[in-house]
Amino acid sequence: MAVSEEFLQYVRDQLRGVGEVDTRRMFGGAGIYLGERFFALVDNDELFFKVSAATRPHYESAGSHAFEPWEGHVMNGYWSVPAEVLDSATELAQWAQGALSAATTKPGKKKRNA
């Protein structure tokens, strides 16, 4: 993961429509939080939002891709935000609401076999 301070500041500015977000450096990239909700990450100066089963098709139809921190290791829980969405603070706030919702939704615990 890598992220420039300039890009990270741009993302914070663009996300002002959802509230005051906090960024935390992690593994060379950054996690993005609203309160305690971790809903986005930045890697290689690219923004990824948390997705759910309900929101993932929207990203797929927009030509986005899943987060791949290293080759062959795909994390389907985070998908890239299209550049045209990132460039529109209004549209980005709408997409961010879906990511925030996905960040608060917890999948049911799997039952373990006894």
- Domain ranges, residue 17: 5-104
Asked whether residue 55 is assigned to any structural domain, the reply reads yes
Our count of domains for the chain comes to: 1
Asked whether residue 98 is assigned to any structural domain, the reply reads yes
Quickly count: other Cβ atoms within 10 Å of residue 88's Cβ.
Answer: 14
Whole-number average pLDDT of the chain: 88
Asked whether residue 37 is assigned to any structural domain, the reply reads yes
Q: How confident is the model at residue 112 (pLDDT cuts 50, 70, 90)?
A: low
Q: Which range among 18-22, 29-33, 74-78, 87-91 shows the weakest confidence by mean pLDDT?
A: 74-78
Instruction: Assign residue 38 the CATH number of its domain.
Output: 3.30.1460.30
Is the pLDDT score of 97 beyond 70?
yes
b/e for 6-39, b at 16 or more Cβ within 10 A?
ebbebbbebbeebeebebeeeeebbebebeebbb
Task: Supply the pTM of this predicted model.
Answer: 0.86
Asked whether residue 109 is assigned to any structural domain, the reply reads no
Kindly state the tokens that stand for 84. Answer: 């045209």
Q: In what order do the strands lie in the sheet with 29-34?
A: 22-26, 29-34, 37-43, 46-50, 73-80, 66-70
